[in-house]
Structures are given as structure tokens and as C-alpha cells.
A and B are shown apart, each in its own frame.
Chain A
Amino acid sequence: MTTRATSIGWGVTGVLAVVVAWELYKYLGPAEGVTVGDTGDAGSGQIILPRTHDRAMPHVWSMIVRLFEPTSGGDSPALIVSVAAAAAVTLGIAVVGWLIGVLVGFGLSLVMQRWRLLEWGLLPWIVVSQTVPLIALAPVINAIGNQIDRSGTPWPQWLSVAVIASYLAFFPVAVGALRGLQSPDRIHLDLMRTYGSGYWPTLVRLRLPAAVPHLLPALRLAAANAVLGVVVAEVSIGMRGGLGRMLIQLAGQGSSDPAAPWGPIFGAVVLGLIAAGSVALIGVGLKDYRRGEATS
């Protein structure tokens, strides 16, 4: 109880610290920032300290007030309502992307654990896969999706977004689950052998339970990655309805309405927390399998 209170306390302190730092720099920093090597031509020189005027750095309270003002003037709904609707779309796709990523990552970890040769063959490619920038990959996947759609099998655009998100989500699962499946000690493997236990019973009774402490952080990371992946994919293939597209749209009007883009940014942060928090709930149900964490 007290430990939970303490951790909430630290969480609140962390957020407040960011707010204070933002406002302090805004107050102390030069309005036009600091630029070196300015030749007088517009846009020349290198900015080394960011500008602090209200168009570049709106006050934290203006960001919050802006949340409750109409999204695009007139009698359009409050920004926070639009953000919530867009966040729901993004979250739905992220869940699908997360599930695909978890299935693929876990499947890969299983075959890599089972066959050493596959580990040597696959693991380098899995690592390399994450160095391919998502914005390069997104149009390719989108094009393939469109082709499938045109050839008769329905393939909605959001499915392409989910697949792109799963590309980020599968990685921590593949690596973490492999670690976990390989984590049982020699003595436990020897014992299973003396019980005449084959591959499947050993997997179910020993390797999977032993993998849980490695798997939970991997699933949490995958959840955060899936949200990030969906936002980036929405932007790069131009899918409407989600947070990513909304962010780009509002940022485009940034100079006249600087506080508005912060709405979807807050939305994305909250989504990441929801995603990671939901996975933490899975961990509560698997408490017994995490007993090893304390001792070893």
C-alpha cells in the first residue's frame, strides 16, 4: 500500500518536474533562441537553443485550456473529444498490431529455441530488421495491401497499419521470449530428462513458466512499440481517423494555433500508458511465475 503510494508520488513528481523545466526554460530562454553562423539570409545558421516565444513553446496551461476549446473553430466538438475519438481508433489498430507481433515473435522464439541452427540463421536478421526505417517500409506494405485488396480479398487500410505496427512489436517478444525459453538451469533440464519428459511436456511445464519473467517486460515494450508504430504508419500512409493524421494536420496550422498539436501528443502518451498498463495487469495474474525474480 505504502509502496504504491510512493510510486504514484514519484510519478506525479516526474510529470511536475517536466512541466517546471518547460516553463522555466520558456521564462529564462531568449525569445528567438540562439543561432550561430547567421548570415542574415532567412533560415541560415544553426539553432543551438530553441525559441521560447508562444508560437514555438506555448504555456503548459494554454495547452490544457486548448483541450476544451472547439477542435477547428465554430461549433466543432472540443479538442479533447476529437483526440479521444482518434485515440480509440489508434488503440484498436495497435491492439491488432500487438497481437500479430506477439504471435509472430513468440512463434519465432519457439522455433529458434527448438532448433539451434534456426537461431543462428534467424536472430541476425531479426536484429537487422529493426534497422529498416518504418517510413521506408510503410509504403511497401501499404502497396502490397492494396494489391491484395484489388485482387479480391478485402484488405482495409487499417490492416496495413496494424501490420506495420506489428513490425515494431514482434522484435522485443522474439528476443525476450527466446531468452526466457532458454533460461531454465541445467539442473532443471537434467531433471526433466530423468523423468523421461520429451519436448512438449518440457516446454509446457518448464520452459514456458520459466519464460514468464522475461516475457512480461517484452510484452510491455511490444505494446508501447505498437502504439508508436500505428501513429507513424498512419502518418506515412496517410490513413485518416487516428491520432497520427490528426497530429500532422494540427501541426500544419501550428503557427496560428500552437497549443493544438499538443492535444494528440498528450493522447499518444496516454495511449502508451494504457497499453503498458494493460500488460502489467497480465503480470498480476502470473504472480507465482515471477517468484524467481526475487531470488535469482
Chain B
Amino acid sequence: MTSALPAAVKATGVDKVFTGSRGEVTALAGVDLEVAAGEFVSLIGPSGCGKSTLLRLIADLETSTGGTLEIFGKSASQARQDQDYGIAFQQAGLLPWRTVRDNIGLPLQLHGQDKRTRAARVDELTALVGLDEFVDHHPDQLSGGMQQRVAIARALASQPRLLLMDEPFGALDEMTREYLQSELTRIAAETQAAVVFVTHSIPEAVFLSDRVVVMSPRPGRITDIIDVSLAGERDEALRESPAYFERVTAVREALHGTHVDRPNER
């Protein structure tokens, strides 16, 4: 790996405590994680273990209550202002009154790019996600999978070096899901962006990632990091290869390890 580049994400002892009306919730405790530039890392774990919180900290949508967090060697807030990352959530979150073209172009428009530059970039992006024919459609005319592709294109609009995704395929049917997983690995390879991908599907994490980060709840922390390092292209054949199943089993055991531990704790 090119070690001269600063890491895309470098978290050291990151804590997050939410203080609400019903007392304090420790969402994350002592999280150490480094994501190299261009690397694909998944966060997996039972719900409530702080995956979304960690992603939102990286995105500067929440602020940590302890530890240090660097994005490309800068503070999270600076990285956000510099548009160093693009983000996509479980819901596509498209603006219903805007066409596909204008939804993808929204970040660019907000950054003052003129119409022509924007149009050129939107054309590239719709080609990348395979939606060229739908640029003038409105979101309500698209299927859930297509809406999610628009959301991904929008996340890529400012050519970010880091892509943050919070269960982006969570609401889709299995077929669409597998199709978009393949698409995403291709897009990640083409754009060379680092990806932090939240999921609770073990096969999805294994199929997509260079490394899978396993987390456990109360308090949210990292319990295991599994190197997937499946060589070669990520295609449909991979899903049936023995090496793939082996990694799936490894992640499952790491996840269940945290489950089995719990009765003993009580």
C-alpha cells in the first residue's frame, strides 16, 4: 500500500456518550480503527452496537466525546467542509421535486459549479451507475434499487476520496441487493475511493470488503477485525467459492463469539 498517503480514517480511542433526558448512553468506547486510502472496510455487528454512530462521527454529523479522529490527516469537521467524503444512507433521501439529474447535481450546485460543468459530471455519474436513460425522471418514477443508485451517484458527485455508507442496500430485495453489491465493488475500484460500509449482513460484508470490522454492543466497541483478502475480481463466481465461505464462517464465528460471551458475563 502507498504508505505516504495519510489514512482515510484514523480513529484512536474514540468515545461517544449521548446525554439525553433519560441519562447517558455510551454508544462507543475506545474505538481504534484505521482505514487506508482506497481500502474497503465493513462495519458489522448487532443493532445498537454503534455502527451508525461511528459513521456519523467520521462524517462530522456527531462529535466524539473522547479520543481523536482524523480524516485524511484533518479533523472531521475540516474534512466535511473540504468535501472529502460522500455519504449514502439506508433511505435514498432524494429530493422528490428534483429530477435524477438535479438530485445528483445538488452537491455541485451548492458548491457553486456552473450548469455546464455540472451537466458533464452528472452525465459521467449516470453512466457509472447505469442510469443514463433516467436523468429526467423524478424519484417517484424509479424503483427502490434505482433510487439507491442515484443516491450513490450523488455521493460520488464531488469526487470524494472516501465513501461512507450506512446499510445502503438494507431496504432492497435480495436480487437487487446482490446486483448493486457487484456494481459497488466495480465503482469503488474505478473511483479508487476508500469505503466505510455499515451492514448487518455477513455475506455482504465478506463479498465487498478488504477487511471486516466486528463490533459488539453495550458499550459499542470493536471486538475483531477480519482480513478478507480475497484475491481477484468480485464476481458472481466468488459467491460460490470455498475461500468465500471460509471467510463468511470466520466472520460469523467472530460475531457469535461476542454473543456466546454474554451469558457468562451475567
A binding-site residues for B, Cβ under 8 Å: 185, 187-188, 190-197, 201, 205-206, 209, 212, 288-292, 294-296
Q: A185 to chain B: which residues have CB within 8 Å?
A: 93
Give the residue name and chain of the A residue nearest to B56 (CB): A190
B91 and A191 contact, CB distance less than 8 A? no
The answer on a CB contact under 8 Å between B95 and A188 is yes
Contact across chains for B106 and A195 when beta carbons are under 8 A apart: yes
Residue of A nearest to B85 (CB): A194
Q: Which residues of B contact A (CB under 8 A)?
A: 59-61, 80-81, 83, 85-87, 89, 91, 93, 95-97, 106-107, 109-111, 138-140
Please measure, in the bound complex, the distance between the C-alpha atom of A252 and the C-alpha atom of B107, giving whole angstroms.
65
Residues on the B chain within 8 Å of A193, using CB: 60-61, 80
CB distance from A100 to the nearest CB of B (A): 29
* A209 close to B93 (CB less than 8 A): no
Contact residue among A194, A289, A290, A295 (Cβ-Cβ distance under 8 Å from B87): A194
CB <8 Å contact, B95 and A206: yes
Judging by beta carbons under 8 Å apart, are A187 and B89 in contact?
Answer: yes
User: Which listed residue, B89, B95, B138, B139, touches A209 by the CB 8 Å rule?
Assistant: B95
Q: How far is the CA of A185 from the CA of B109 in the complex (A)?
A: 20
Cross-chain contact B83 with A196 (CB below 8 angstroms): yes
Residues on A with C-beta less than 8 A from B93 are 185, 187-188, 191
Q: Show 11 residue pairs from A and B whose CB-CB distance is below 8 angstroms, ordered by the A residue.
A: A187-B89, A194-B87, A195-B110, A196-B83, A201-B110, A205-B110, A288-B138, A292-B97, A295-B96, A295-B140, A296-B96
6 more A-B contacts (CB under 8 A) besides A195-B83, A209-B97?
A: A191-B87, A193-B61, A194-B80, A205-B109, A291-B96, A292-B97
- Among all A-B residue pairs, the 4 with the closest Cβ atoms: A187-B93, A292-B96, A291-B96, A289-B97
Q: Which residues of chain B have C-beta atoms less than 8 A from A292's C-beta?
A: 96-97
Residues of A within 8 Å of B83, CB to CB, are 195-196
Q: Which of A190, A195, A291 has the most chain B CB within a 10 Å cutoff?
A: A195
- A64 to B: closest C-beta gap in Å: 45
